[in-house]
Chains A and B, each alone.
Chain A
Amino acid sequence: MSLFNPMERKYLTTDLLIIGGGTAGCYAAITAARQARDLRILIAEKANIKRSGCLAAGVNALNAYITEGQTVRDYLEFVRWDAEKIIRDDLVLSMAEGFNETAADLERMGLVILKDERGKYVTRGRQNIKINGENIKPLLAAEVGRYGNIEVLNHVNITDYLTAEGRVFGAVGFGVEEEIEYGISARAVLIATGGAAGLYRPNNPGFSRHKMWYPPFNTGAGYAMGIRAGAEMTSFEMRFVAQRCKDTIAPTGTIALGVGAREVNARGEIYEKQYGLSTSGRAYGTTNETYEGRGPCYLRTKGITSEQDEELLRAYLNMAPAQTLKWIESGRLPSEQNVEIEGTEPYIVGGHTGSGYWVDTRRRTTLANLYAAGDVSGGAPKKFVTGALAEGAIAAETILSDIKNIPPAEEAVVRARAEKVFLDYERRLSDAPQEPYDVFAIEEAMQKVMDEYAGGIKTAYRYNAGQLALADSSIDRLIVLAEGLTGPDMDTLVHIYELRERLTVCKVLIAHLCARKETRWPGFAVHTDHPQLSGDYECYVNSKWLDGHLEVFTRPLVREGAYEHTY
């Protein structure tokens, strides 16, 4: 690209811009469109909403459902116990109130949910119902397509908000293949992007480096945009480590719950009860058994029936086909060999733990006219699919009530702000050779730093203050190097901005790990200077980018009732 042939510029105007067409984003659009037929809604999506985000491969259960005899309060208590108290009661309760309604809506859209002979959903454990979720994204995308007032902009990578004085009035992005840059003006913006994968060196760092739990294409864009714009963030130190089938990084819950397989170490000892049955406890058990020399660890499937073998093969095809292929290819089905398990590299993901935007009860962020839902929104762990849908619906309803009081931004202001970002895109789109480092070299360096100094797989998720200080200065060095990156095509440009997003998230994550001087979730993070849980940290660690530096502070736990921002 030369100066004589700059990218094509397109300016779009809408009422509600939704960034990220995953579960939360699509459902927010559907909810808003059903209630306000004349509201213009635009979904901007990096891939294609038909198969994007963490549900691209499918999902085999709805893990958040209020089953018969249970209440939303039971769910709240379950989440509180699982997250060692660091949750927002108001957010978890309001989300849980929407679980069953959104599940019923999915069924109306065509999702197959297993029912018994009385027509009742068949449950798996206390909070789960069984489905065929292979086509859950195509179903949501088809529903989006039914509303004439929703426009979908697929294959556009949004990188920055349009902001002034703590107010958001749109966003800027570019085509992932077409040389087009977009300035989008909107009265309200919903951020519904995914969490952040690829911060740490993954389980399979070579050819299969993207065979990971969370989609490698979810790079923390929504977090990074918010951080740079000065939004308050919460609980980044509450990382998520998933316990998965070795190598294929396929889910383990389907085996554990489906056929009742227990976790055993290399000596055949069942260890899960020693460490507690919370998500963190389970992850810690497997990590610690291996760390102390009793690995590898397994889910004990040997001896299950041939019918159970067949059901497992089919179940995995609907969400993680690599595991089915692995069983067939090895010539030994799960009844003949135990399934080896391991912990993944850490992720930042608000749908499973508490990391994300600090929002009020109605999902308003601390930036005016910016709302958050799904994995990018903090304080409400264990959202899973129905929680992300419910949050999308809550955010949409808040936006519908707020938007009449939000005037559109002036076009000249939109263009002036967008132009600053466009100039950065144009600077970076260049045929100049990338020497001595290209984007992949810096990504690898970032993952090495995080792995070794910020509690990755290499240290069994352990770190101390000295290591974190090294991680922080190394990430600063890489941020400077990444600033100079350019690329010859739009695909490389996407990678460059994804790296920038990840580095921003790493910077905040390290600061949060430093600030929580205790060990609360040992399966996710062990602070070796402070290996115990401390009553002093029964609070949130929050942060905000302010006047060129990151301010980290604590907030007291929010219980029930409505929480409103005080600034």
Chain B
Amino acid sequence: MLLIGENLNVMSKKLGDAFLVRDQGPVRKMAEAEAMAGMDMIDVNIGPARKAGPEFMEWIVKTIQEVTDIPLSLDTTNMEAMEAGLKVCKKKALVNSISARPERMAGLMPFAKKYNASFIGLTLGAEGIPRDANERGLFAAEIIAEAAEYGILEEDIWLDPIVLPVNSQQMQVQGCTEFVMMLADLAPNCKSTCGLSNVSNGMPGHLRGIMNRTYLIMIKRYGMYSAIVDAFDSELKAIAKNQRPELEALVHRVMDGESIAPALLSGEEGEYVKTAKVLLGQTLYSDSWLEI
């Protein structure tokens, strides 16, 4: 599974400040650290970048490319900034992201074509977050059809099922998982990705890792091609790179409906079983799910 590091992010206080004063130091450091951590791509999240967006995106892409040649995923809602970034990317870039909203598709697909970039097709329409797997499918179909109009190859479309936080939308997580299961039939030539960490959004910080990793195992089983992840979760990386087959097998057993008593397992294995049950909707979520 291909991994995209999420940590170069305007939401980070330290980086946000560095962004503001165009301090290259922290940006380089983070890019280097993500490269060291073995990320296959780096997501460059500059947010809405309302002020000086294009100039800023160009600066940050150049700064990163001074220290690493890892391909970049450009993450901004500012379309002009997106183009400015694409212009200076040395490797094939990933546009993060284009939803099924008409203005997003019309605004960004021409750039993807012009600069030979891939793009993340966010299964989200004008009415907002999809309610189930079928709505996701509809948005995906719209995106694929529209991209064809621009002559974009299907292999350059990375469909994103929209991962939702399990602590507040436990049932909706099933819709996301179901959609991932459908992807191979629905869009066999497209790639896929997702914002994995969103599954644990809003949860206590020390518990996010196990939730992210367990969900990664689940969607990996159904063929998820890549994920945008915490670059510094080395265990998560090990799972993505097929180095934890025993953990994957264990979670698969839970997914297949086998009843496994966590008490009979080692601490770590027990945690994976409990977490999988939460993600499958078998145990109602609470922050203390690992303790009961």
Q: Does B associate with A? A: no
